[in-house]
Amino acid sequence: MCAMTGRPAETWRKFRFATPPDWAYALLALVVLGGIGIIAYAIVIASISRRASGYLPLTKRSRLLLNLYMWGTAALFPVFLVLLIAGIVLAGNTDDQALGFVAGTMIVTSVVLLVAFLVLVVLRRWIGPGAKVMEPPIGYYDKPVELRRVHPTFVGAIHQMQATRMAKIARPT
């Protein structure tokens, strides 16, 4: 079963999940410091988050849509940089009003692309399957992972598989 659509799965895709401790959100106060605070917050959150990865079954279309989202988001940033630099260079090296308008349009377009990039990065946590990575129980080394935003049919199939396994274990031989 596809984790996103509930249809029969055709492929697998690797997912990486990270969950910071609950107290880490207090570090959002660092954002008040501006750019340095945002960078410090990102570094601290990245370094203290619990991480897990694994493969989930998907349809080819679901995998394609997730890949398009990820690559499309990643492509916006270099395009933003190229347009911004080209617009600044063009604006600084011309006295022609038409070229100045083109340079201004390039700069405005680059800012729009930056905003789109940031919005898509923020929205990523709500696109596709998500998970909460928990601390391992005492005596275990593996971290339990609670999947979120998966299709109810997928959840039902997993529950059925677990019930079948438990029935085999409980059955006397």
Euclidean distance between CA atoms 132 and 111, whole angstroms: 33
Reported pTM? 0.68
Going residue by residue through the chain (173 aa), what tens digit of pLDDT does each one get?
Answer: 888 998 999 999 999 888 888 777 777 666 666 666 677 777 877 888 888 888 999 999 999 999 999 898 888 888 988 888 888 888 777 777 777 788 888 889 998 998 888 888 888 878 889 888 888 888 888 888 888 889 999 989 888 888 888 888 877 65
Give the position of tokens 């600084």. Answer: 92
What would the two tokens of residue 168 be?
Answer: 């085999």
Euclidean distance between CA atoms 17 and 56, whole angstroms: 12
Euclidean distance between CA atoms 149 and 39, whole angstroms: 29
Euclidean distance between CA atoms 69 and 129, whole angstroms: 13
Euclidean distance between CA atoms 84 and 111, whole angstroms: 8
